[in-house]
Each structure stands twice: as structure tokens, then as C-alpha cells.
A and B are shown apart, each in its own frame.
Chain A
Amino acid sequence: MLGRTLREVSVALKQGQITPTELCQRCLSLIKKTKFLNAYITVSEEVALKQAEESEKRYKKGHSLGDLDGIPIAVKDNFSTSGIETTCASNMLKGYVPPYNATVVQKLLDQGALLMGKTNLDEFAMGSGSTDGIFGPVKNPWSYSKQYREKRKQNSHSENEDSNWLITGGSSGGSAAAVSAFTCFAALGSDTGGSTRNPAAHCGVVGLKPSYGLVSRHGLIPLVNSMDVPGILTRCVDDAATVLGVLAGHDPKDSTTIQDPVKPFTLPSLTDVSKLCIGIPKEYLTPELSSEVQSLWSKAANLFESEGAKVTEVSLPHTSYSIVCYHVLCTSEVASNMARFDGLEYGHRCDSDVSTEAMYAATRREGFNDVVRGRILSGNFFLLKENYENYFVKAQKVRRLIANDFVNVFNSGVDVLLTPTTLSEAVPYTEFIKEDNRTRSAQDDIFTQAVNMAGLPAVSVPVALSSQGLPIGLQFIGRAFCDQQLLIVAKWFEKQVQFPVIQLQELMDDCSSVFENEKLASVSLK
């Protein structure tokens, strides 16, 4: 049952094959068994069971609230949850219990979803590995998959297996791992430069970054207000569409959301792609791109072409300037957004009482890790009067050029862009931490952050397993507010590639029910 998609389990609930409470308990038990993955910071067991009870009553009365009623979900720990600790994986907010729900959380709860817990992340979502939070790194469930282990036995020699676990990618690694390990059916991430799509690609799940302004940010503890978007992680594209249908729309509490009403939608199945034009941005073919990802990317393009779609090489000429401008704009907003954490109203406060300034300094030194402090420092540097024109204003101008690149490409008749999501598959933790967070972020966000600069919708869809038995995802980028069209294409693609289900039997041998719905691996693109 747990291996099913959100849609499938929703049907099972409606048909009475399982009750919300049973479903909730199974997920809770799996969360406990997979605790070592470190996917959750807080497991809201009591809340979830209470919500399940309520949901069960509704089902008994025949008053189900819809597709999400009784469905276990998880929420990244940078979304405010009323009465549930929200830490951002930072000492600064350890123990902070928000008095209100983020709009997206409230919308899910209003639909009857069960909140299983708050998922792990990089501190304040600053990172691309989910390795830099105070609760420790998240372990990629694929590290323990049959697919990966078997390949390792063939290839590797005598390394200690347990010390070679893989990172999930980030910063929404906890959410990706939670969905990947079957502990929930959908999870909220956040996406500022790729934080939803990157871990989705590494964990073999679907990661959707909706158009900026389509989904409310109210209650999402910000990284970069002008780029942050709540992200959706699910096991299939249809599920992402279902969740997006619930979340999308104007929020009076977020002035940057669109005014036009958005109706829930279901994705039609595309049968004919011959009217579709797929753009392949040539600048995304970088030397750092692994040959495996590159080969899957071109196979995917060939797949579209062979099915009758027009596939064309396009140019996004300002791509190479994007990451450095992203860095300037990101750190500047971070410097500003983090100014509120002064130890007065909420969060950590140091013991020092020499003076207010000393209190501020010690509070912020103790509360933030090096990554956050580093970004605050550089952001404040860029915002200084003497630097503002040379850095912030210039970066904004380049941001406009990058957005225009996309507009030009879409105006030329391209419907959707196809790109890699990440440079390679997930790497072992020991490998990952050889580089610092800043270097890693610059490398790992290379294909994803330009989309945030332009406010476009994008989705990472798992394609196939690498030679090491690890998932690889590809990214589709759509026109602004054409999220639905983007997902229709992604759904068609998903159906063609038949990405294999993760096999975790060895690890959780007493959880047979998890895998009852298991499909056989069929890596059609290899």
C-alpha cells in the first residue's frame, strides 16, 4: 500500500481498502524504521493520528474532502506549522513554535491531509546536499536500495558499506528522502535555486517548482523572497499536479501571488507529441556534465523526436553569468532576511548581557552556522552604498537578461525546454564534503537556478538508473504560468521512461506491504 502513488492510495481510501488511521500508522512505523535516514526533524505523530481519526470519520460519513483526505504528507522544516516546532535546521530557531500555519500547509490540512512531520534540510535551506543542518545530514534511501547495493558489489572492492552512504541533494533532501522511502505520499519542499528539483533527481522522485507567484509563500521562512517558491515532491507527475491544484492561487497574505483564480485540474494523457516543440539549450552542455547524464539527456531528446515532436537546439546566451548573479542577489536578500534574528522576539538568545550589541553578536554567532554567516557577510558587502551599483544593480540587470533569454526562446515557438537537473547522480557523503558549501552550491545549482531568476515553472522527472544503480533526473522548463502544460509533457515522458521503483527489501524485510505494488525495473532509455 505504501508503495502506491498518491492517486492510487486515494482510491484505496475511498474504496475502503484501507482506513486513514491504518495508513497513518503504517507510515509512522516506517518513519521509525527509517529514522537513520534522518529525513525528519520532527515527527508529528499525535497530530497525524488525530487528523487521521478526523479523516476516518469523514470517510465513514461519506464526506471525504477530496483526493488528499487521509493522505500522509510531510513538510520541509522551513514552513511555519502552528503548534509544531519549525527549526530551519538552525540553532537560531531550535525550539521555535510558530503560532500560525503557512498558507500551503493550511491548504493541505484543509483538504484533510495528514501531517506526518517536518523534514530535514540545510540550515535555512542554504545548501545543495542536505548536509549542513544542525540535525546532521540526510541519507539518500537509494544508498540502501537493492539496485545500488548490487552494482556496488560488482564494482567496488572492500569498502565499508555503511560509511559510503549517499547524499540526497538539497536543500529539500528530507522531503525527497521521505517520499522516496515511502514514509509519505507527497512532501513540500522549497525551491530557490533548485532545492526541490536537485534532491528529487538524486532520490528518484518528481520535483516540481511552480511558477513564481502561483503558490503562496506566506509562512515559508524565506531564503530569497524574489526567487523562493514552495516545491512539491511526489512519486509521479500526476500526484504533483494534484497537490499543485490544491496549493495554487491567490493568497491575500502574499502580495506577489497572481490575482486570477486557479482551478484544480487533472492532467490529460498526451497521445500525440507531434505538435510539441522541445528546446535543447546548448549552453547547458557543460564540461562538468557527467557522460551518463549527457547520454540520457540526448536519448530523451531522441525519444521526443522519434515520437514526432520537433526538437531544436536553442540558445540562452546569458546562462554562464547566471550563477554568479544568483549568488549576489541571493546573499543580499539573505543578509536582509536574516536581520530579524536578533534574539529579541523569538528564537535563540545568548546568555551575554554586557550590551545589546554584544547580545546581538553572540546570539547570531551561536545561532547561525558558517554557511549562513558567510552569506550574510557577503550579502551585506554587496548592499553597501559603495558596492550596490556595481554588484546588486548589475546582478539585477543580468537577471533581466536571463529572464529575457527564456522569453525569446519561448517566443520563437519552443513549448518546453529539456535539460539535465544535476551534473551527475548522487555522490557519497564523504565525497561531497570535500568541497565547501559555496562551491557545491555553485556547481549543483548550475542547471536549476536560472529558472528561479526567471520565475518559470520547472519539474525534474526521474529517468533511469546510472551504471551505479542510482537515479538520474531530467528537467523540463515551461513558460511562466504554463505549469499545467509543462506537467502534461512531463507526464508523457514519465510514461515512456518507466523509471524503476526503489527496492528496499533487504533493509526493511519486515515491511513487505511496502513493496506489494512493486514494478519491475525497465530502464527503457538505456
Chain B
Amino acid sequence: MAAPMLRWCCPGRRFAFARVGCGSCHRRGPPTGSTSNGKRGQSSVAQQPHITAQKPRKGEPEWAAVVGLEIHAQIASNSKLFSGSQVCFAAPPNSLVSFFDASLPGTLPVLNRRCVEAAVMTGLALDCHINRKSLFDRKHYFYADLPAGYQITQQRLPIAVNGSLAYSVYVGRKPSQMVTRTVRVKQIQLEQDSGKSLHDDLRSQTLIDLNRAGIGLLELVLEPDMSCGEEAATAVRELQLILQALGTSQANMAEGQLRVDANISVHRPGEPLGIRTEVKNLNSARFLAKAIDYEIQRQINELENGGEILNETRSFDFKLGCTVPMRDKEGKQDYRFMPEPNLPPLLLYDSGSLPSGADPQQVINIDQLRERLPELPRVTRQRLVQQYGMLPEHSCVLLNEVGLLEFFQNVIKETRAEPKKVTSWVLNTFLGFLKQQNLAVSESPVTPSALAELLDLLDRKAISAPAAKQVFEELWSNEGKTPAQIVAEKKLELLQDPEALEQLCRSTLEAHPDVVMDLKRGNPRAINKLIGLVRKATLGRADPTAIKEVLERQLSS
């Protein structure tokens, strides 16, 4: 199937949307090195962004930036939107291509129920109105990885409209200054993915892989309610969490399951919106934020220098960290939209409108899907705060790191330790180790059970807090051992015999009369030195508080 052919430039092929006023203010001048997170993979916006208010200098007019997004999320389904071919990432080229996917003449589309359900569930999760009737259209353009010469999409009447997406951002340095922002969801439409063109510059040919051709996509259009890269990146991250919670998309940006195009413009507050540019194919949240912030600043600089903004499509060069115009010699495309004649209107029902005697396999009941909706990230975070008394920002971190919430909940299940203690250990110690070694939660050498057992030992006061840290380090580097084994081997259990502790304290005092003198002369820090000496003598197995108690009693007697 791989057809050698020549390089061809990609024309802009998504349609644009209306813009409305909004936005925070941007100051003239060079781009502020705004927060960026170097996290790995899909968790690249794990931390909530800090947005620092920018004070305009006196006499200088402000700039407001307006950002809207078009997001394509690949639907997690076993088969493609209109054919029976399997959906699978990184399969051998052209191994998952049905006759329909290759557009063999005479083949017809058959709508995949699972994809419709995914669209409805996503629509419900984003508070959209679900259209009881939606339509499919053909969008025409010639491109080598679009075998039929048109894409089946929902241009006239999409499956879901008028929703909203809430996300939280920090507005100051303090965690308490976290605020919720909302971006309106204009519409969600079902459409086909295209194939992939692989350009072989050496032989100046293009190879076509149709494995991706025809996979179901949700196109989500977010209204231009955002005003900077971090807002956009955070909104996308929230959407990613929602899609993953719903299971409607794996939404892995690195694997192209979530692709974002941004529409960006700047204007002076009170004035009409500026000309916008579109930055396409942003494949990580970090680049999304960077590209948007760069583009905003570029437009401001351009206008300040008397230039003008062209309504153009740009791409982000992640090596140079800037946006560049895409070669678009075709100019404005006319997609010649037309109703897809081979698919009847898509009708959805609710419990009230369900036709009696309808085959449940042939109809989709929106109410039934609503009941099946899982807990959404926003609710999960609230529950974590209420149930475990953790800070809101802690709940954010737990959700943002892939697999961390599950890890946390498994530890909670198996330990008697306080939830606050668990939170602290998971977010500080455990996550710290992961970050240090650049590992994902799933790659952690420490299991939830091991951490739970360790926290139990700590909770029972069987080991001291410093000993617990030591055990954790051992767990990390020596897989297979239980915390109890490590404690036994390293003799880390707390000195349980009060007589022995008394004895050790007495001999320490006797052996260091100079320190005792120092203390009696009024140096309050001398007691710490004594505690340290006793701890050393116990090989770290005694609780410093208990040591202090005994020492003070012996000194005063």
C-alpha cells in the first residue's frame, strides 16, 4: 500500500470559529520566561501554573491576548469510526487497513456505536447539549494520506454543543490563590482521522501509512476564552484528565492521541479583536504553552513596530522555540462541504423518547450513558480534600501525575497510618524519588503495599521517622525485600526497653561532662548534641523525643 510519491505541503484543513472578547493583559516587551514544567510524557503540566499579574508601566497601553483551541482527541475504541479495522498504536505500516479505509470504490461507511457513545459521554462530562439529531458531512481536499479525497466530519450539525470546561490556575505565589477559570466548549464533533505521510527526503518520495486513516476523532472546539499559554495548557491538561477518566480517549499527546491547534490574537482592551493566527500541531502541553506565549509576544512586537498580523497558519519549531509560517501555497481552501449521502442522520434518544420495542443494539440512550459516567477529576479532587483533609493543590498533584492517585488510594487502603501522613509520604518522599530518577509511577520499584507496611511500622512507633526514610531508601534500591525484613536486617527497630535507654543516657552524660557543663552554663543547644550522641549510641533506633525526655529528667535529678 505504501505509495511512493512526492513531497507536498499540507494545507490548512480545519475550519475556524468565531471569537469573543476576554483575556488578561500582556505588557509590551520581551517574552516573560513564564513557568514551564519539564515533566515527562503526558504529565507535563503536573504542577499548576503560577500566573503573575503584570503591572503596566505608566503611560504604556496594555495588550490583551485571546486564545482559542481546536483539539483532536483520538477515540479509544477497538475499531475505527466507519470500518471494522483494529485501532492500535505503532502497528506495522498499513497492517490495519480495511477496504473502506483504503477508499476502495464501492465501500460504504458503517458508524461505530462505541465512537458515538464516547462522543456523548465526553459531551455530558463537559456539560454540553447533546443534539438528538446530528449529521455527517464530507469535507473535500486532495492530500495523499486522505484516500477518499474527503474527510467525513460533522460540519452542519455536530453531536454536542454549548458546553464548558473548568480548570484551576494559581494566580499568585501562595497556594491559597488558586482560582477556577472556565472556557466554553463550542462543539464536539465526530470525524475521521487521516493517514500518515512519511517523507523520505533522501529518495524524495513520500510513503503513506493508512493505519491511522479512519480512526474516530473527537474534535473539540474551545472558545477563545483563554489569554496565555499556561491557561491553555492547563485547560488541555484538565480535558486530558476528563477524557482519561471517561476512557473515551487515552489522550496521550506524545502518541498523537491528543493534538491541539491554537488560534491566537492580541488587541488593546476596549478595541476590536485583532487578526488571529493559527498555530498547528502542538504535540505536548509544554510546547503548547511556549508556542502560545511566543506567538502572543511576537504579535505584540509586530504591532508595536508598526507591522501587521497576517491571518495565517504557523507551526511551532520546538528546537528554536518560535513559531514560523507554514508554507501554504494553495491559499484559502474551499472544502466544498456536502452532506454524506451514505449515512442516515444520527439519532440519539433519552429514556423519555426511546421508541418502544427498539433494539437496544440499534439505539443509544443518553440517560443510560449519563448514569454510567465515572467520577470526574473535579469531583475526585473535592472528595480527596474532604475525605483526607488534604490541601487542594495536593489533590491536583495526585491527579495530574499519571497513576499517582491510584497508588495513593492503594496505600490508604492497606495502611492504618493517618491520611495526612500518607499524603505527605506519597507527595514528598515517593514523588520526590520518582522525579529525581525521572520515572513514571508505574515504573516505581516501591509498591503501594510496601509503602503501606512501612507507614504502619511508623504508625506503631516500631521505627523512628528517620529510620523510616532509611527503610524507604532501602526499598527503592533493593527490590523484593519487605520493610520488616529491612528493619530487622539493619536493626532499625526502636529501642523498646526503657531501662536500656536510661542506661545509655546515663553513660553518655558521664562520658561527656564538658557538654553537660556547657548546658548548665546556659547553652540551650547543648541538649541537641547530647541527644545526637545518644542516638548514635542506639544506632538510630531511639525516638529523639523520648531521648530528650530521659536526658532532661536525669540532668535535673
Chain A residues engaging chain B, CB cutoff 8 angstroms: 79-80, 88, 93, 96, 98-100, 102, 217-222, 224-226, 252-256, 259, 332-333, 335-336, 338-342, 344-346, 353-357, 359-360, 380, 383-385, 388, 392
Task: Contact check, A254 vs B108: say whether CB atoms are below 8 A apart.
Answer: yes
Q: Interface on chain A toward B: helix, strand, loop, or mixed SS?
A: loop
In the complex, what residue of chain A is closest to B111 when comparing beta carbons?
A: A255
- Kindly list the 7 A-B residue pairs having the minimum CB-CB distance in the complex, ordered from nearest: A339-B149, A383-B336, A225-B341, A226-B341, A356-B8, A221-B105, A219-B106
Q: Are A339 and B148 in contact (CB under 8 A)?
A: yes
Is B8 within 8 A of A357, CB to CB?
yes
Most B C-beta atoms less than 10 A away, residue of A218, A224, A338: A218
- Bound form: Cα–Cα A96–B105 in Å: 10
* Interchain CB contact under 8 A, B108 and A392: no
Q: Using known A-B contacts A254-B108, A340-B105, determine if residue A388 contacts B337 with beta carbons closer than 8 Å.
A: yes
Contacts A336-B338, A357-B8: A344 and B108 contacting too (C-beta < 8 A)? no
A-B contact pairs, 18 of them (CB 8 A): A80-B104, A98-B104, A99-B99, A99-B104, A220-B106, A225-B341, A253-B110, A255-B108, A255-B342, A255-B344, A256-B341, A336-B140, A339-B148, A340-B103, A341-B105, A342-B149, A344-B208, A356-B144
Given contacts A99-B99, A218-B108, A219-B106, contact A384 B336 (CB under 8 A): yes
Are A221 and B106 in contact, CB atoms less than 8 angstroms apart?
Answer: yes
Inter-chain CA distance A360–B3, complex, in Å, is 13
Q: Which B residues lie within 8 Å of A79 (CB)?
A: 106
List B residues 108-165 near A (Cβ within 8 Å): 108-111, 138, 140, 142, 144, 147-150
Report if B373 contacts A (CB, 8 A): no
Residues of B participating in the A interface, judged by any CB pair closer than 8 Å: 1, 3, 5-8, 99, 102-111, 138, 140, 142, 144, 147-150, 206, 208, 334, 336-338, 341-344, 362
Contact A345 B109 (CB under 8 A): no
A72–B102 Cα gap in the complex (Å)?
Answer: 32
Say whether, besides A225-B341, A255-B342, A333-B341, A342 and B142 are in contact (CB < 8 Å). Answer: yes
Knowing A218-B108, A255-B342, A336-B338 are in contact, say whether A345-B206 is a contact too (CB < 8 A).
no
Complex CA distance for A79 and B150, rounded to whole angstroms: 22
The residues of B that contact A252 with a CB separation of less than 8 Å are: 110
CB distance from B488 to the nearest CB of A (A): 65
**How far, in whole Å, are A396 and B102 apart by their CA atoms in the complex?**
30
Docked complex Cα distance between A333 and B150 (Å)? 12
Smallest CB–CB gap between B362 and chain A, Å? 7
Is A345 a contact partner of B106 (Cβ separation < 8 A)? no
Which residues of chain A are near B5, meaning CB under 8 Å? Answer: 344, 356, 359
| Distance in Å: Cβ of B202 to nearest Cβ of chain A | 16
- Per the bound structure, the CA–CA distance linking A222 and B103 in Å amounts to 12
Whether A344 and B3, one on each chain, are in contact in the complex, defined by CB atoms closer than 8 angstroms, is yes
What residue of chain A has the Cβ atom nearest to residue B335's Cβ? A385
B138 touches A80 (CB 8 A): no
CA distance A342 to B150 in the complex (A): 12
Could you say which of A341, A354, A360, A383 contacts B337, with CB atoms under 8 Å apart?
A383
Task: Point out which of B109, B149, B337 has the most chain A C-beta atoms below 10 A from its C-beta.
Answer: B149
> Closest CB of chain B to A332's CB: distance in Å?
6
Of all chain B residues, the one with the shortest Cβ separation from A213 is B344
Q: How far is the CA of A252 from the CA of B109 in the complex (A)?
A: 10
The minimal Cβ–Cβ distance linking A276 to chain B, given in whole angstroms, is 33
A336 contacts which chain B residues (CB < 8 A)?
138, 140, 149-150, 336, 338
Pairwise interchain contact B342-A256, C-beta atoms closer than 8 A: yes
Contact A339 B150, beta carbon cutoff 8 Å: yes
> Is A345's CB under 8 angstroms from B6's CB?
no
Closest to B206 in A: A356
Partner of B140, one of A98, A339, A360: A339
Q: Which residues of B contact A357 (CB under 8 A)?
A: 8, 142
Selected from B142, B148, B341, the residue in CB contact (under 8 A) with A360 is B142
Closest Cβ of chain B to A213, distance in Å, is 9
B351 vs chain A, min Cβ distance (A): 22
CA distance A345 to B1 in the complex (A): 7
Residues in B with CB closer than 8 Å to A380 are 336
Q: Add 13 more A-B contacts to A98-B106, A253-B108, A384-B334 (CB < 8 A).
A: A102-B106, A218-B107, A221-B106, A224-B341, A225-B341, A256-B341, A339-B149, A344-B3, A344-B144, A356-B6, A356-B7, A356-B8, A385-B337
Residues of B within 8 A of A340 (CB): 103, 105, 147-149
Assess the B108–A345 pair: CB atoms within 8 A: no
Query: Would B110 and A344 count as touching, CB distance under 8 A?
Result: no
Q: Which residues of A sit under 8 angstroms from B110, Cβ to Cβ?
A: 252-253, 255
In the assembled complex, the CB of A6 is this many whole angstroms from the nearest CB of chain B, namely 26
**Which residues from B are CB-within-8-Å of A96?**
105
Contacting B106 at CB < 8 Å: which of A222, A342, A344? A222
Alpha-carbon gap, A2 to B254, bound state (A): 67
Q: What is the CA–CA distance of A425 and B67 in the complex, to the nearest angstrom?
A: 67
- Across the interface, do B6 and A225 meet the contact criterion of CB distance under 8 Å? no
- Complex contacts, B344 vs chain A, CB 8 Å: 255-256
Considering the complex, give the chain A residue whose CB is closest to the CB of B210.
Answer: A345
Say yes or no: B342 contacts A225, CB within 8 Å: yes
**Smallest beta-carbon distance A441→chain B, Å:** 20
